[in-house]
Structures are given as C-alpha cells and as structure tokens.
Chain A
Amino acid sequence: MSQLWFDVAHLLAGGMLVLSFALLYQDRIAAVINVFALQAIALSLSVAWQALVQDAPHLIVTAAIALIVKGFVIPTALHHIIRQMQIHREIEEVIGSGLTMLTGLGLVALSILLVQPVGEVSIYVREDLAFALAVILLGLLMMITRRNAVTQVVGFMSLENGLVLAATGAKGMPLVVEISVAFSILIAFIVFGIFVFRIRERFDTVDVSALDRFRGERSDA
C-alpha cells in the first residue's frame, strides 16, 4: 500500500511539474491555457488520490473544485476572452526560452535542496513538498518571463496549483484552508477579468509592456 501510495502520488505530482515546464516555453496563448487546464486536471487527480490514501473524504471537494473550476470553467472563459480580444492566434515571444528552461531546472534543484530538512519528518512528505515547491517556483518564473496579462495570470494560477498540492499533501490540514485557496483562485479570476477589461478599454492591448509607458513618477497630473 505504502509503495503504491508513493508511486501514484509521485506520478501525478511529477506530471504537474512537467506541465509547468510546458507552460514555461509554450508561446501560443491558446496553448498556454490548454496546458494550464491539463495541469489543473492533474492536480485534481492528485488531490483525489490523497483523499483516498489519507482517508480524508473532504479532500474530494477540493479535487472537484480543482477539476471543475480550474480544469474547465476558467480555461473556457479565458479562451472566450482571448477570442473576443482577437489574440487567440497571437504568438507571444518568450524571452530566452532556453535560458528560462535552464533557470527552471535550477529552481527544481533548489526546491529539492530546500526541503531536505523535512526528511526527518517523513520521506513521503518531503518528496511531495519538493514537487509542490518546484511547481510554485516555476509559476513564479513564468509570471516574471511573460509580458502578456493573460499568461501572467495563468502563471499565477499555476503557482496556486502548487500551493494546493502542498496543502493537500500535508496530512489532516483543515478544510478551511483548502476551500479558501479554491476561493481565492476564483477571486483572482474575477480580479483578472476586471483588469483585463479595463486594460483593454484603455489600451486596446493586453500586453503588460504597454503599461510600462506609465512607469514611475508622472510628469504631470
């Protein structure tokens, strides 16, 4: 049981990490959204598996939220938005994708090193945390390397995928927190929607670099 537990949990968490790398280099906006949806599905499977082995039925709720909201509703809405803004075929230049991938590898190594002390608690928890931290850091990296508002938010949601993975890996963590995480994803999405519509209204673009014109001190007003 324990060996199987370990393998399946690893497989799913590893799948999420691979998808995080795919998010890093993917340059078509529509494809970025699809990869994110896949990652959310992998997350929901992983959470469901945790619910099974931890004998924690409430985690099923978290898994369902991940599957429905992040796996389907948000990606569908994002597709709709980018089509409406006519950027669904747009290709976003990812700055130095080779370098980004190498940095990503470095971040994975860093997460393995960082969670080393957890080994004294439990080896399973440690590896789970290493995966989760790697997904979080790669989400962060994606937010830094992208210039487009939509892909930046996808990076943020991928970061939160990593957070949910970490939270559900922690045995018996109260439900309050998981619901709040799912809830915050929803809020993040609303915020994002408002912002994008405002940005579009004012700039006719969702490229965040358009915002750079207004950096820092204003000359007047």
Chain B
Amino acid sequence: MIGPVEATLIIPAIAIPILALVSSYRLGASLNILASAMTLSAAVALLFTAHPRSDLIIIDDFNIFLVVLTTFVGFTTSIFSATYLAHEIEIGRLTPLFLRFYHAMYQTLMGAMNVALVANNIGLMWVGVEVATLSTVMMVGIYRTPEAIEAAWKYFILGSVGIGLAFFGTILVYLVAQEVVGDGLPAMSWDLLVKSAPMLDPQLLSLSFVFLLVGYGTKVGLAPFHAWLPDAHAEGPTPISAVLSGLLLNVALYALLRFKIVLAGNAAAINVGAIMVGLGLVSLMFAAFMLYRRRDIKRLFAYSSIEHMGIAAFAFGMGGPLANFAGLLHMTMHSLIKSGIFFAVGHIAQVKGTQRIAAISGLSVTHPVLAVLFSLGVIAIAGLPPFGMFTSEFMLVSSTFARQPALSVVLVAGLLIAFGALILRLQDIVFGEPIGKAHPAQASYIPAYVHLTLALIAGVWLPGPVVQWFRGVAALLG
C-alpha cells in the first residue's frame, strides 16, 4: 500500500527516467512542474494521515514541516525554472539535450532531499544527503564554462570530503548505539537513538558529533567550511541556486539538529549548543563583512545565505522554546525569501545579460516590475518589517538579550553590518543611471510574489495552527 510518505519518494523516482527520455524541452519542463506538483500534494496529504513508524521511515512534526516546505519550494522553482530555461535555450546557452539531463537531475535532487528528510535511519539519511549533493554538483557544472567547472569541481571535492566525514560520524553513532540497542537497523533509528540517549557512551558520542558537525556543517555552509558555497551558487543555473540556498542547506541543518537532539539527551556528552552558537556567530560576522566586497549579484546572495544559516545555527545553539521557535521561523523565512530573490535575480541577470552588479544599475527605470520585486525581496532578507524575517530576528535578539547580553551585542552587530551591505547594493542595482542592456523581461513573476506574500503573511500574522506546530517542534528540539 502506497501512502503519502512513499508517494513523496516514488513520484520523483518515476519522473527521473521519464524526464531523461522526453526530447522536447517544453514538454520536459511541463512534466517537471507536474511531478513537482504531485510531490507537493503528497506532502500536503501527509498532514492529514497517520504515520506509523518503521525502522526506515519516520514522520513527526519536525520533518513534516520541512517536507512540505521543501516540496513547495521545489514546485514553485520548477515553474520559475521553465521560463528561465526557455530563455537559456533561446540564447543558446543550453541545448535541449542538457535540459533532459537537467530535469532528471532536478527530480533526483527533490527525491533525495525527501529521502533525507523522512528517513528514520541515520544511514539512509546520509544516502539522501549524498545523492542530493551529487545531483547538484552535476547541475552546477552544466554550463561548462571554466568558472562553472571550477565551481562544480570545488563543490564536488569539498562536498565529498564533508559527506565522507559525516559518514564516519554515522558509523561511530552506530557503534555507540549498538552497545545499548543491539545490532542491526534499530541501532540507526532516530526514535530509538533518542530514547536510549542517556545510556549511550558519552565520550564516543561526543567524538562522533565532531565528525558529523564538520561533515554536515560543510553542507550547511557554516564558516569556515563554506568555501564551495559562493562558487556553486554563482556559476550554476539560477533555479539551482534557489533550491541549493532555500532547500539543501536546510536539509543539512536538519540532519545536524537531529543529532543535536540525541546528544542533548545525554547529560555527559559535549555541549553541542555552545559549538553551534560559536560557528553560527563566526558565519554571521564573516558573511556580513564579505557582503561588502561582492561584485557578482548571485555571489552576494550566496554570502547572504551563509549569514542566515549562521543565524539559524546560532538560534538552535541557544536552544530553549523561544530561540528554537525563532530558528525554525528563520529557516522557513530564509527558504521562501531567498529562493524568491533568486527568481528575481535570475530574470535580472537574463535581461541585463550579466551578473556583475556594476553593470546592472538603474533597474527601476528599465524594468520597474522586476525592480519592485527585487527590492521587496532584499528588504525582506535584510530583516526589515513587515516581513517574517523581522519577526524571527527580533525574537532571537530579544531572547538572547535576556539570557546572554554579551552574545546579543555580537548578533546585533552582525545583523546591522549585513543590513548595511544589502541596502547599499540595493541602491546600486535599483536606482542610479540605467546601464547596460534592456531586454524586455520574459519572466514568470508569480512564484517570487507567492514566496514574498507568504513571508509577509508570516510577518504580519502567523496563523494559530502554525504557531502551535512550531512550538511543538521547538519543544522537541529542547
């Protein structure tokens, strides 16, 4: 019997060979949208069905919200991707053959992320993250320019090393759990790991977390393991930048948080929270300063992703109901807003024919609709009200101030520095003398506006059930 959980995995799996075989790129793009929509509806159906646990699959409040978010952004990105790719075909940057490959990889990525999210087994989750990484490596290199190949190569090497170390950490966790839970699959299940956490050997568990942190931390893009991230975002097709930033980073952070729950259950293990606070702040400060020196528009927002992942890691590191709530909201808002921004940036880069910020001045004159969309996105990502990111950052700062005033000073400084950089760049791009080409925009604005509207709704009025849900997950995270 195929339930909605299986459907979120099977639909992409069926779509992969079909998309690889369809030779018309228009049909391929439509089928890609269709498959993403079906996966999304399966994910929504998850909300209304019961989920018995098995040794391989688990559905709880924490991952159900991420599955819905992932499939939703996957769906909107597939719509954006269709118009984006039509333009790339038109200017001859990609050929239809590459698009077949691209669409198959897109569904591979979606399916792999769902595997990682719904897995109850730490090994299966690892496989999901690994396959997702490899599929994005392929897509980052798809333009085959020297820059794209360098970016993909760097991403491949750093990502593989990270994922290798994460696997070693996974083996260590199994070794620890095996002593308590017994051999085989149960010793790799999240729920049993959490249940038996107090009895696990604390020293070995702490050691395993070091590997997991470096491994999955590389995928989250936390400084100092972030070197692959800006290149991969800047050189790949923009729809991929959107799903990388909006989804894959979240999935990796999710993996880390799952392990954090296990370690938090063991009193004698290292304090994971303190490490995450440290790495989060380093990422935030580093990225905030780096934002000023960016000359490439996609690189700019790649560094902004490092910044926001740092903020989320900081929030979860602080822990407690309020900070965890803020962290969850921040992850969600970042997914929606950042992918929305990348939709806008993709169209901007297409109409201007360049990603160089210096060559994109005066957007408000040449493309007013895009300019408004882009400005709203930047305002939202900079953390200004009334968007949801303001809410999450405000909650985080206030809860930090109550507990660790010194840390909140650093946090606020980082937020303000990043804010300044983004507003400066926004002025450069939107206002000023119009420079460069002014192709008419061939864009689908709907996905980006939907994302920003959701972020706006979250900022003005967060619906009651969502609040309840986030509270439940925040309690789960401890």
A binds B: yes
**Which residues of A are interface residues toward B (Cβ below 8 A)?**
114-115, 117-118, 120-121, 125, 129, 132-133, 136, 140, 143, 149, 152, 156, 159-160, 163, 166-167, 170-174, 176-177, 180-181, 184, 187-188, 191, 194-195, 198-199, 201-203, 208, 211, 213-215, 217-218, 220-221
- Smallest CB gap from A171: residue in B: B183
- Smallest CB gap from B294: residue in A: A217
Given contacts A163-B167, A167-B171, contact A195 B153 (CB under 8 A): yes
Interface of B is mostly: helix
Q: Give the bracket for the number of chain B residues in contact with chain A.
A: 35 or more
Known: A163-B168, A176-B127, A199-B153. 13 other contacts (CB 8 A): A117-B201, A129-B175, A174-B121, A174-B184, A174-B188, A176-B123, A177-B126, A177-B127, A180-B130, A184-B127, A195-B149, A211-B149, A218-B356
Which of chain A's residues have a CB closer than 8 A to the CB of B147? 214, 218, 221
Q: How far is the CA of A180 from the CA of B157 in the complex (A)?
A: 19
The answer to whether A180 and B134 have CB atoms under 8 Å apart is no
The answer to whether A117 and B203 have CB atoms under 8 Å apart is yes
Interface of A is mostly: helix
B434 contacts chain A at the CB level, 8 A cutoff = no
Residue pairs across A and B with CB atoms within 8 Å: the count is 126
- Smallest CB gap from A115: residue in B: B207
* Neighbour of B153 across the interface among A117, A125, A208, CB < 8 A: A208
Tell me the minimal C-beta distance from A121 to chain B in angstroms.
6
Which of chain B's residues have a CB closer than 8 A to the CB of A152? 157
Q: How far is the CA of A105 from the CA of B245 in the complex (A)?
A: 39
Would you give 24 A-B contacts (Cβ < 8 Å), ordered by A? A121-B204, A136-B168, A149-B153, A152-B157, A156-B161, A159-B164, A163-B164, A166-B171, A171-B178, A173-B123, A174-B188, A177-B170, A180-B130, A187-B131, A195-B149, A195-B152, A198-B141, A198-B144, A202-B144, A213-B146, A217-B295, A217-B296, A218-B296, A221-B147
Q: How far is the CA of A133 from the CA of B171 in the complex (A)?
A: 11
Tell me the minimal C-beta distance from B226 to chain A in angstroms.
14
Given contacts A188-B160, A191-B138, A195-B149, contact A166 B168 (CB under 8 A): yes
The answer to whether A176 and B124 have CB atoms under 8 Å apart is yes
Tell me the minimal C-beta distance from B345 to chain A in angstroms.
16
Closest 9 pairs (CB-CB, A-B): A172-B183, A117-B203, A177-B123, A211-B150, A180-B127, A214-B146, A166-B171, A117-B204, A214-B150
B299 contacts chain A at the CB level, 8 A cutoff = yes
Which of chain A's residues have a CB closer than 8 A to the CB of B156? 191, 195
Which of chain B's residues have a CB closer than 8 A to the CB of A220? 354, 356
- Smallest CB gap from A215: residue in B: B150
In B165-195, which residues have CB < 8 Å from any A CB? 165, 167-168, 170-172, 174-176, 178-179, 183-185, 187-188
B363 contacts chain A at the CB level, 8 A cutoff = no
Which of chain A's residues have a CB closer than 8 A to the CB of B165? 136
Which of chain A's residues have a CB closer than 8 A to the CB of B137? 191
Q: How far is the CA of A181 from the CA of B153 in the complex (A)?
A: 20
- Smallest CB gap from B124: residue in A: A176
* Neighbour of A174 across the interface among B123, B131, B157, B204, CB < 8 A: B123
Which of chain A's residues have a CB closer than 8 A to the CB of B126? 177, 180
Which of chain A's residues have a CB closer than 8 A to the CB of B175? 118, 121, 125, 129, 170
Complex interface bits, B12-43 against A, C-beta within 8 A gives 1, otherwise 0:
00000000000000000000000000000000
The answer to whether A203 and B146 have CB atoms under 8 Å apart is yes
The answer to whether B149 and A202 have CB atoms under 8 Å apart is yes
* Neighbour of B164 across the interface among A160, A170, A211, CB < 8 A: A160
**Which residues of B are interface residues toward A (Cβ below 8 A)?**
121, 123-124, 126-127, 130-131, 134, 137-138, 141, 144, 146-147, 149-150, 152-153, 156-157, 160-161, 164-165, 167-168, 170-172, 174-176, 178-179, 183-185, 187-188, 201, 203-204, 207, 294-296, 299, 354-356
Q: How far is the CA of A123 from the CA of B171 in the complex (A)?
A: 16
Q: How far is the CA of A125 from the CA of B354 in the complex (A)?
A: 56
- Smallest CB gap from B165: residue in A: A136
Q: How far is the CA of A221 from the CA of B358 in the complex (A)?
A: 11
Which of chain A's residues have a CB closer than 8 A to the CB of B184? 172, 174
Tell me the minimal C-beta distance from A191 to chain B in angstroms.
6
* Neighbour of A194 across the interface among B131, B138, B179, CB < 8 A: B138
Which of chain A's residues have a CB closer than 8 A to the CB of B179? 121
Q: How far is the CA of A133 from the CA of B174 in the complex (A)?
A: 16
- Smallest CB gap from A136: residue in B: B168
Q: How far is the CA of A156 from the CA of B164 in the complex (A)?
A: 9
Which of chain B's residues have a CB closer than 8 A to the CB of A177? 123, 126-127, 170
- Smallest CB gap from A174: residue in B: B185
Q: How far is the CA of A68 from the CA of B175 in the complex (A)?
A: 28
The answer to whether A198 and B183 have CB atoms under 8 Å apart is no
Which of chain A's residues have a CB closer than 8 A to the CB of B172? 129
Given contacts A180-B127, A191-B137, contact A198 B168 (CB under 8 A): no
Tell me the minimal C-beta distance from A9 to chain B in angstroms.
16
Tell me the minimal C-beta distance from B217 to chain A in angstroms.
16
The answer to whether B299 and A217 have CB atoms under 8 Å apart is yes
Tell me the minimal C-beta distance from B365 to chain A in angstroms.
23
The answer to whether A187 and B164 have CB atoms under 8 Å apart is no
- Smallest CB gap from A201: residue in B: B144
Tell me the minimal C-beta distance from B225 to chain A in angstroms.
13
The answer to whether A202 and B146 have CB atoms under 8 Å apart is yes
Which of chain A's residues have a CB closer than 8 A to the CB of B146? 202-203, 211, 213-214
* Neighbour of B168 across the interface among A133, A176, A195, CB < 8 A: A133
Given contacts A177-B123, A220-B356, contact A172 B130 (CB under 8 A): no
